[in-house]
Amino acid sequence: MEKRDIYPVDEKTAERAWIDRTQYEQMYRRSIESPDAFWADQLDQLDWATRPTKMNESSFKRDEVVIRWFADGELNAAYNCIDRHLDERADQVAILWEGDDPSESKRITYRELHAAVGKLANGLKSLGVSRGDTVTLYMPMIPEAAYAMLACARIGAVHSVVFGGFSPDALAGRIKDSGSKLVITADQSLRGGKRVPLKDNVDDALTRAGTDCVERVLVVQRGGDPIDWQEKDLWYHELVEGQSSECAVETMNAEDPLFILYTSGSTGTPKGLKHTTGGYLLFAAMTHRYVFDYHDGDIYWCAADVGWITGHTYIVYGPLANGATTLMFEGVPSYPDHGRLGEVIDKYGVNILYTSPTMVRALMAHGDQVLSTSRRDSLRLLGSVGEPINPEAWHWFHRVVGNGRCPIVDTWWQTESGGHLITALPGAIDLKPGSATLPFFGVEPALLDPEGRELEGAASGNLVIKRSWPGQARTIWGDHERFVTTYFSTYEGVYVSGDGCRRDEDGYYWITGRIDDVLNVSGHRLGTAEIESSLVAHEAVAEAAVVGYPHEVKGQGIYVYVTLNDDTAPSDELKRALIDWVRRDIGPIAKPDVIQWAPGLPKTRSGKIMRRILRKIAAGELDGLGDTSTLADPGVVDELIGSRGR
Ligand code: WT7
């Protein structure tokens, strides 16, 4: 029996909460039993130009997969995030911006946000960007990133944000796939006192094949270092100067695309997930309000980057749709030193902090004293996202960061889901450290065995979702077939999340991690295939196999087995060169932690690499290697064990 480690909902939290225990149960039941009526009630969270009469019209049937919500509704996302708040809160701060350097900050009110977005929207129009065009954003964490997203939304253009840590090659692939007309970037980004040459990377990306769709490059001046200037380039400040701050909003159908966001899969190139306007925004607003129990006046900080879905939904769209004050942090929690996170909380009086287990573990490694420069008395609620949070990190987060007073909502979701799927609600659901707890409204999870049979009660299996929810990605940009194959073909009639999961006797869900060949490194998704194809492109490499292994801070580290070409001798120098190769090719997040030379890889007789065995060797679990008799050459395994870590 496991120890009962439970944190019941506390009185104070329950009292002020939007949703208490009884409401959760009633609303959840209604969302499953009378979904149309349930969702019709929620529509008021947004301002619609045309209120939809149609609710969910999705189908998960393999031959006719379609995700469609509120299809006769019309609205504009930027209007919902800005204009509709102007009557009541024009002078309230919308975006609190904290620079990388602690001496730099900005407070942008809703009135100022309206003007900045209006000017840029007019500027974009003057460049010929219009409804339906795609725009790639490759930007630092500066207010202009939010302006750019919202300016696109205002005129009906589709943004595709590429994380500023990705390499020119990765950027080029995403520009090409999305067919972007315009790229918005900055001269340099500043993170932890270091500069990343974003504009140079864009130049580099644009010399690659297939990126000639790009007509203009808009450059924000941030770092201030000189940059090479190309014919397509245009300064952001020059474009918006003299533009009117009034720009009429484009009325969009609820199913018109709002953005594309790329994420890694187990095979092939990254997938551009398409999110649409109505369902996404409603789900973003609703989850932000209920899961973080957001009330007027709260200061809310999601410490993610806008390059990920977490930043899209919970820095920009969710909070702004709710008229919130959202904090945007350019830097990293370890700069100038490890006290920064707490200092930022105190500086702005942050009430709600949403961050990742990897950040918690990084702080925890420095001991309890790490936050002694701050009090963090303003905090009321903590949130976790990106990977399972181990109970030890949960307790530290609770005890040290939250002074033992703040509930933690562990939110399980994905780029594909747009918003939270399984999560606690602070006023309604008792917490169990390490569990994402219970499904959000309208979400119907199930656990399947490998044959696709649904498991009842306490069980472990493949986590699937049985019906659509409004924030669900509609398709993969330009490749609906891949969308169907990836998410709807393993089992009939359900969405396959790719995660393994256990449900306990109380019906609580415990995510156990990816069951496909996707790594989760510091809460970021990486396909093993992507890293392998990068490695085999190196002249010295004959073959490579990549697996994850338990890493104290990052959750998973990247462990690489490399077979060299016959004429190449292994050396430490070559190891360093290969690590650098991957870093340049994909980005710093994909940098291998360990490289092991492998004279041969364990393969089945049909030539399939047995990753299960490689994972065990990487993790140092040498006793339970399981059945190796089906290997073409079982001797390979002993050889790998013998040379482990060398
Ligand atoms: C994968 C999705 C959702 C935004 C950040 C990552 C893992 C995410 C949790 C959590 C356990 C989690 C899953 C999921 N994951 N949150 N609270 N507990 N696992 O988005 O890059 O699309 O990755 O992250 O494995 O499938 P993403």
Closest-CA residue, ligand 1 atom 10, reads 412
Our answer on whether the CB atom of 410 is closer than 6 Å to any ligand 1 atom is: yes
Does residue 579 fall inside a structural domain?
Answer: yes
In a domain, 75, yes or no: no
pLDDT exceeds cutoff 60 at 622: yes
- Tell me which residue has its CA closest to atom 14 in ligand 1: 414
525 is in an annotated binding site: yes
Q: Is the model's pLDDT at 646 over the cut of 60? A: no
Average pLDDT (4-12) is 94
* Residue 84 placed within a domain: no
* Nearest Cα to Cα of residue 290 among 117, 72, 441: 441
Q: What is the pLDDT of residue 1?
A: 40
Q: What is the pLDDT of residues 396-434, one digit of tens each?
A: 999 999 999 999 999 999 999 999 999 999 999 999 999
- Tally of domains within the chain: 1
Pocket of ligand 1 contains residue 462 by CB under 6 Å? no
For the residues of 388-405, what is the DSSP string, one character each? PPPHHHHHHIIIIITTTT
Determine the residue of 163, 315, 525, 556 to mutate for testing ligand 1's pocket, defined as the one with the most ligand atoms within 8 A of the Cβ atom. Answer: 525
Whether the model clears a pTM of 0.80, i.e. scores above it, the answer is: yes
528 pLDDT more than 80: yes
Does some domain include residue 82? Answer: no
Q: Whose CA is nearest to atom 2 of ligand 1?
A: 414
ipTM value greater than 0.90 = yes
Residue 13 in any domain: the answer is no
Q: Is 229 annotated as a binding residue?
A: no
**pLDDT score of 336:** 97
Residue 546, beta-bridge partner list:
560
What CATH number is attached to the domain comprising 582?
A: 3.30.300.30
For residue 356 and ligand 1, the question of a CB distance below 6 A is answered with no
Average per-residue pLDDT in the chain?
A: 96
**Please, how many CA atoms are within 13 Å of residue 623, restricted to the half-sphere of its CB?**
0
Q: Whose CA is nearest to atom 17 of ligand 1?
A: 412
Question: Strands across the sheet with 233-235, in order?
Answer: 233-235, 216-220, 182-186, 134-138, 158-161, 257-263, 271-276, 475-476
Long-range contacts, stretch 376-379, CB < 8 angstroms, 24+ apart = 376/342, 376/345, 376/346, 376/401, 376/402, 376/403, 377/346, 377/403, 378/299, 378/345, 378/346, 378/349, 378/350, 378/351, 379/345, 379/350, 379/351, 379/352, 379/353, 379/403, 379/405, 379/406
Does 412 sit in the ligand 1 pocket, CB within 6 Å? yes
Residue type (1 letter), 428: A
- Assigned domain for 52 exists: no
Closest CA to 137 of 169, 167, 159, 170: 159
3-state DSSP assignment of residue 569: coil
Q: Quick check: CB of 517 below 6 Å from ligand 1?
A: no
Q: Are 438 and 424 in contact (CB under 8 A)?
A: yes
Q: Output the CA 385–ligand 1 centroid distance in Å.
A: 6
Q: Tell me whether residue 403 is in a domain.
A: no
Question: Which atom of ligand 1 is found nearest the CA of 511?
Answer: 11
Alpha helices in 235-308 (DSSP H): 236-240, 278-291
Give pLDDT, residue 3: 61
Q: What average pLDDT score do residues 464-488 get?
A: 98
Q: Is residue 554 part of a domain?
A: yes
Ligand 1 atom at minimum distance from 498 CA: 26
CA angle, residues 452, 273, 81, in degrees to nearest 5: 120
Domain range spanning residue 637?
A: 522-643
SS (H, E, C) 186-248: ECCEEECCEEECHHHHHHHHHCCCCCCCCCEEEEECCCCCCCCCCCCEEEHHHHHCCCCCCCC
25 labeled binding residue: no
Helix (H) or strand (E) holding 118: helix 110-126
- Token pair 């994402």 in the structure block, residue: 436
